[in-house]
Structure formats: structure tokens, C-alpha cells
Amino acid sequence: MNRFLTVSAVLAALAATPAAAAPVELTVFYAWPSHQRFHEPIAAAFMERHPEIKIRFQAPASSYDEAFQSLLRQGMTGSLPDVTFAGYQMLRALADRGLAQDLGPLIAATPDWGGRGFTDPVLALGRAAGRQVALPFVMSTPIVYVNGELVARAGGDDAPFPADWDGLIGLAHRVDGLGPDIDGMYYGLGVDDWTTQALILNQGGSLLTPDETDIAFDGPEGLAALRLFRRFREEGGQPAIGDESARQQFVAGKLGILVASTSGVRGLETDIGGRFPLKTARLPLADRGRGRLPTGGMAGVILTDDPDKRAAAWAYLQFASGPEAQTLMVQKSGYTPVTSLALGPDHLGDFYREHPNWSTSIEQIPVSVPWTAWPGPNGVEIAQALLDAMAALAQDRLSPDEALARMASDARRLISRR
């Protein structure tokens, strides 16, 4: 404990190191190559303020799953990075394997922590195994992107955008009828189980039992979720194409409604330009009382147990999650900031008023909950099992009842292997 209480002293010593001494170098690893656009400038701003610390990035992984597998391989060879930005659903596995350092003592030793703008629900995103193993960095939820021109042509411009699934699917159906080269809507499955979890939580369901020993999605809420997904194709005109093709079709003005992460708003606005008016809307909740949305995104994890590097890493995570870095991150992505300080007038307050498409992510915070992390060593395999069953449903190889039965059987079998 005493070692953790000396964080400030270590940083002060680092700052007082003679100029000739080598700075403390932190190796940092993250997923998604496109995130370089905010990781790099945040690191540059941090190093400008902390010349005693140097940030060196490893080549980014192509997904959260690939990043996790890479960390496991590096752990076996003793070559782990000092810091990683891991997907929220991976934190439990990192904690269970003893790779993630406990941030609790560091938080306790940080002056004025209560004034940093982190609410308890946000901090909870970084908790696993009863410990604060990560500091949240970015958040996202699925939102609705709308081609304003196609919706207007379908008669949907004289009323607020539908707040329920029946209304959204009905509007998508009318857009789909505009012509043979126009599709109504697209709800992507992604490369993990995030959007599948979103459908189940949307219905008021849960993924796990309270004691987390068994699945809880194989009931009426789970079946309703999969039947809703089937309706997207049968009634809403969802084409049988992949996520990237759907995005390209939306940008080209040939798709009316796209459900995707809030993190895509900057890229879509840039790619669409003035081709058509882009709007965003909150994702409908099937159960307005119990419905929730899983929080995607990532959190900073300290992997090193070297005292000097750990102190430097803690300084870096605090800066990356602070208002200055969060402002930069939001403007270069569309993710939701993790600190309320970033919403003030000196940072993003005016920006959100001037960019209403970006503010939808903020509006969904009250219904956002942690992305469920599967217990045991087979979490990645469980997520893949859900994704595979959903893909089969999307391709008409399984009915909703059959897909749910397969998901439940595979997940239950994998959870039991501990």
C-alpha cells in the first residue's frame, strides 16, 4: 500500500530528473487502427506537458478480440505492453488472469479525485472481479442514422422520428418502396456480440443470472429480440449484405436508416458531405421501463507492475480521460466522453449545441449499462457463438427460435467449462 501512496512522489522525482536522463517510456497498445486519429494527438499533448514520460505505441489490433488474444500471447512471452486500452467486455478476462493492475489504491492516493467528473456508473464500466481494474476512456451506444432526403420522400418529415420499433420499421418499409435500388434499413451485427446484447437488453432482458453462473437470455425477452431482428429484413427492407457494404450504401444515399455506433458520426458526416441531410436519433426501446443499451468502448488498463512505469501510466490515463483529451477524442470520432467536465462551456458545451447529430450519444447515457462480460475463460468463444447464430438468422439458415436455442446451448456449454 505504501508503494501506491508514493505515486505523487514518484512523478515529482521523474520531473526532477536531469535532462540527460532517459525519460520513462510507456508502451501502449490499443484496438482499431482508425483510432490512431485521436490516440496519437492525445499522446503528443500529454508528452508536451510531461517531457519526463515518452509514449510509444504498438501497432494497433484490428478488433477488441484480436487485441485480447495478442495480450495473452505477449503475456506468455513476458513482453506485455505497459498500458492497454481494452474493450469493456474484455476487462473481466484481464482481471481473472491477473494481468490488470488494481487502480483502487491509485485513485485513493489521487488528490481531489471527486472533482474529476467521473460518475459512479461510468467508473463501474472499469470494474471487474470486485476491483477498479481500468479507467474508462470512451463510451458508445448504438444510435439511428437517418437519410433525411429518403425519409422525406417516404413521408416521414412532418413528424418526429419514430420513438418505437413499429414506427421505425414502418418508416423503413416505406423507404424501401421508393425504388429497386433503395433499401429501407440496416442493423449491423458487427464483429462481436455488442449489437446482439443491445437487442436483448432493449427488451428488458438480461444476459446472465444475478449470480452469473448461467445465461438468462433464453426466455421471452431473448426470443422477442431475435424476432425483432427478423422483422428488420422481412418488413424493414434490410438487405443481405455485410456491415461495410451497408455503410457504403448509406453514404451513397441508397439506404434510409442505419443503426450503428455513435463513434461513426464524424466519419459519416465527412463521407456524406452535402450529398443529403444526415440526422441521428435515439435507438427505440421495446420496453421503455426496463430497456437498456450496452455501453461499448474501451478503458485504460495498467499492466506493468514497475513502480516508476505504473506512476507514469496512471498520469497518462488520467490525462487521456480528462476534459482536454476527451474533447479532442470526441471531435475526432463521435464517441461519448467519460467525464462530465468535458461537457462544460470551455470544452464541448458549444460543440454539442452546434452539432446536434453528435449529442444523441449524450441523450442515451441514462439508459446505458455495462457491456456484459462473460464469466470464465471462454468469454471470447461465447461472444462468437452468439454472433454466429445471429449471422445464421440473418441469412435465413435459422429461425428466431432455432437461433436462440443454439445461442443458449453453446453459451451454457462454454460457461460450464471453467
Strands 24-30 and 83-87: parallel
- Please provide the average confidence, as pLDDT, over all residues in the chain: 93
List residues bridging with 136 in a β-sheet: 299
Per-residue b/e over 62-71, b at no fewer than 16 CB within 10 Å?
A: eebbebbebb
Q: What is the mean pLDDT of residues 242-260?
A: 97
> Cell numbers 449524450 correspond to what residue?
362
**Domains detected in the chain:** 4-140+295-369 (3.40.190.10), 143-294+372-416 (3.40.190.10)
Q: State the Rg of the chain over Cα.
A: 22
pLDDT band at 397 (very low <50, low <70, confident <90, very high): very high
pLDDT in tens, 150-191: 999 998 776 789 999 999 999 999 999 999 999 999 999 999
Amino acid at 177: G
With 60 as the cut, is the pLDDT of residue 18 above it? no
With 90 as the cut, is the pLDDT of residue 4 above it? no
Supply the pTM of this predicted model: 0.90
Question: What does the pLDDT read at residue 1?
Answer: 37
Nearest C-alpha neighbor of 342 from the set 320, 315, 317: 320
pLDDT band at 5 (very low <50, low <70, confident <90, very high): very low
Nearest C-alpha neighbor of 31 from the set 90, 87, 89: 87
Cell of 405: 436455442
Task: Give the Cα separation of 108 and 105 in Å (integer).
Answer: 5
pLDDT band at 129 (very low <50, low <70, confident <90, very high): confident
Task: Give the Cα separation of 235 and 340 in Å (integer).
Answer: 40
